[in-house]
Amino acid sequence: MTAPGKADEFVPHPVKDQLPGVDICVNSNPPWPEAVILAFQHYLVMLGTTVIISTVIVPQMGGGIAEKAQVIQTWLFVAGLNTLLQTWFGTRLPVVMGGSFRFILPSLSIVLSNRYSAYINPHDRFVRSMRGIQGALMVASVLPILAGFLGVWRIVTRILSPLSAVPLVTLVGLGLYQLGFPLLANCIELGLPELIILILLSQYFPYMWKSRRLDQFAVLISVAIVWAYASLLTAAGAYKNRPLSTQLSCRVDRSGLISGASWIKFPYPFQWGTPTLDAGDAFVMMAAALVALIESTGTFIAASRYSSATPIPPSVLSRGAGWLGIGLLLDGLFGTASGCTASVKVRGRCRFYTVANIWSIVLYLVRLHMYVLLPNAASAGLGLLQFCHLNSYRTKFILGFSLFMGLSVPQYFNQYVIATGVGPVHTPSTWFNNIMLVIFTSPATVAAIVALFLDCTLARKHSLTRRDSGRHWWGKFKYFDKDPRSAEFYALPLSLSKYFPSV
């Protein structure tokens, strides 16, 4: 018989190594028809980042609509290859190896350098600057390749605890807050309905109608509805007398990418010519590769959580880092004008991701304008707090200070650049100034550095430090063979394991 009052007592939620209640886990294979539809939805989500990055960089290179369409085609093709490599041979987690905003600054620093100002013809300038970006990317890819395949990144990530991982994973998502509502507000009459419909379909309707189908296809359905709405507004002449910036954001017939894109185009290595190399550009691109490696590590941790896998072993993170470097090498070989990083999109891996990347390679370009807010990485980081002792002042200080610095330091650097046109670090070496700008404008990188330093040095000899940081929860996952579930989720096929060992 239950004692009086016991039934009403509050019991703390238990700590879970794996996220419960996941419909499609890392080893799941949905039916083929469902996989095809979900794959196309995944492709649409990936397209947004690709178009944004190309729109920023290509015009500065001297390229027009045709060149931008070709770069986007190349980006989607290489992104498909990189994602296949990462999901087959890398971490084997459901991540997308798409474009990274952290490579925009290094690419623009190359494009705007004085050595390309002599080219009067815009196409010649585009080709020459593309070759410069290619050379810098190929050299920069050596950093994650060596760090990953030589096991250096495995040593670094073994120092991570749940406490130091929280700011890293959280700010991988929150660090791009400038691209959230400010970007959506460029066309508020389309962006806001898209956001509202997406939330209704993914969060409210599935529980009201007791169906998870709307949750899985929420992006595809919401985009179709808003696209039809935008087409009606365009046909009705709602934007005829509006400013040019509004027409470019809201009209469905002003991008020009469909007319500029080839019907069939297969990108190939060195399609722009022989890459060129400048040492300073290579160093700046290496800084971006380091930032992409750090942010991708946070993404891998978030992906392992959302796919209901166990915490990812450091050896697998190192393996993923090596294949991230291979991805950067392919970006340089094909000429994507920017580098790649990992991003969380969905939860399944096998059949879904095979089809998804076929879409990515074959369907190069869809004329689509959409804003989708995906705070999954941020909430995955906050979920790691369950492993930490939140009643410890040490824990509270490390969390608060690292998150605050991770947001405020990049904000300072960005505002300084907006006000003066240059970064706050002033030395005779331009490439060193740009390296500092690349590193310290990444919220996740700044937060990870601060949190890891404080976690390793603050009250290091105190007996409760290990438990406050949650290291004891991750202890059995530090080495690949300590928990049998690690092999279940992350092991490579036997034919490949001897070439890329995980232990």
Note the pLDDT tens digit of each residue in 186-220: 777 877 888 888 888 878 887 777 766 667 777 77
Question: Residue range 240-259: average pLDDT?
Answer: 69
Per-residue DSSP letters for 139-162? HHTHHHHHHHHTSHHHHHHTT--H
Place of tokens 């509270």: 396
**pTM across the whole model:** 0.88
Query: What is the pLDDT, as a whole number, of residue 345?
Result: 61
Residue 243 has pLDDT above 70, yes or no: yes
Question: Is 440 exposed, middle or buried, given 0-12, 13-18 or 19+ CB atoms closer than 10 A?
Answer: buried
Average pLDDT over residues 115-144: 94
Tokens found for residue 196: 């509202």
Strand partners, 343: 96
Query: pLDDT at residue 231 above 50?
Result: yes
Quick one: pLDDT at residue 465? 64
Using only the alpha carbons of the chain, give its radius of gyration: 23
Q: How far apart are CA 262 and CA 17, in angstroms?
A: 48
Query: Which tokens in the block code for residue 378?
Result: 């941020």
Tens of pLDDT, residues 140-183: 999 999 999 999 999 999 999 999 999 999 998 777 766 666 66
pLDDT in tens, 48-98: 778 888 889 999 999 888 888 889 889 988 998 998 899 889 998 888 888
Band (pLDDT 50/70/90 cuts) for residue 370 is very low
Instruction: Choose between 432 and 50: higher pLDDT.
Output: 432
Asked if 31 and 355 touch (Cβ cutoff 8 Å), the reply is no
Spatial separation of the C-alpha atoms in residues 141 and 190, rounded to whole Å? 39
